[in-house]
Amino acid sequence: MRGAESVPGAVRGARAMWLVAIGAGVCETVLIVASGQAGGDAAAGVAVRAAVFAAAVLVVLRMAAGRRWARWLLTVALGVLGTLSLTVEPVRWLARGNSITELVRQAGAVDLLFGGSRVVHVVAVLGGCVLMFVPSANRYFRTRRTAP
């Protein structure tokens, strides 16, 4: 097994970015539940999110260990599909002519915390995706065996 010193900085950075993104997702979940906006069966929603977050952490750790399948799973499932799920509704909201300035003016503390967490979440996902594909990361993944 390779030591931490043999893992390129880009891959270590990608791991950190993905863990920040997962942490932001946890923060968003806590804010939704604490504010009472979770709706009907909040416990089921939290359980599903907890399972997704736990699985994501495991995949991030496999990616950092050089598993190519994990890099691609993160890219497609969270980088593409996950980012779409985080951004489609805000883009639709803006397309309907709503104003960010007015939104911020009327927002409460929970809204601002949630918005800030969502920005961190998206930036961390995009950063994690980019860092997984820089030249030093590509070399690292190319030299790793395909074992789980």
Only one residue has tokens 């489609």, namely 88
Is residue 63 scored above 80 in pLDDT?
Answer: yes
Residue 147 lies in a domain: no
The pLDDT of residue 1? 45
Q: Tens of pLDDT along 33-54?
A: 988 877 778 888 899 999 999 9
Is residue 95 scored above 70 in pLDDT?
Answer: yes
Residue 148 lies in a domain: no
**d(C-alpha 67, C-alpha 78), whole Å:** 16
Which of 127, 118, 126, 120 shows the shortest CA–CA distance to 13? 127
> Which is more confidently placed, 2 or 12?
12
Name the average pLDDT for the chain.
92
Residue 18 to residues 35, 52, 107, Cα–Cα distance (Å): 26, 13, 28
Give the domain range for residue 114. Answer: 8-142
Is residue 5 scored above 70 in pLDDT?
Answer: no
Q: What is the C-alpha radius of gyration for the chain, rounded to an integer number of angstroms?
A: 17
Residue 44 lies in a domain: yes
Among the residue ranges 92-101, 108-117, 137-146, the one predicted with the least confidence is 137-146
Percent of the chain at pLDDT > 70 equals 94
The pLDDT of residue 3? 53
Q: Residue 29 has which token pair? A: 């979940």
Residue 67 lies in a domain: yes
Residue 25 to residues 1, 4, 33, 97, 98, Cα–Cα distance (Å): 31, 27, 12, 27, 25
Residue 3 lies in a domain: no
Q: How many domains does the chain have?
A: 1
Residue 59 lies in a domain: yes
Is residue 22 scored above 60 in pLDDT?
Answer: yes
Is residue 120 scored above 90 in pLDDT?
Answer: yes
Residue 2 lies in a domain: no
pTM of the full structure:
0.88
Residue 40 lies in a domain: yes
